[in-house]
Amino acid sequence: MLVAVRDYLRRRGQATLADVAHHFRLSPEVARQMLQVWERKGMVRRRAATAACGTACSQCDPASVEVWEWREDPGAPPPLPPDCRGR
């Protein structure tokens, strides 16, 4: 199952926790644990859908704004956020 989650995320590039959980018929907690295995190996990274998501209105399902992104080159530094120009 762990390999299937890896392949799913690799194919899509990124997915929300809710997408992964729904696709594999898992609870969000179990899906997060599987994704965290790949995160510890440096193959995925977790990020919020936007900078304000999960902090402002709190009306969204947290699993729908937790985005997991596949990293092709785990040795490379993570990309800068869109609002950061490296200054």
Task: Write out pLDDT tens, residues 16-43.
Answer: 999 999 999 999 999 999 999 999 999 9
Q: At what angle do helices 17-24 and 28-40 cross, to 10 degrees?
A: 110
Topology classification of domain 2-70: Arc Repressor Mutant, subunit A (1.10.10)
What is the reported pLDDT for 87? 43
Domain extents in the chain: 2-70
Whether residue 50 is predicted with pLDDT greater than 90 in this model: the reply is no
List 70's β-bridge partners, or say none: 44
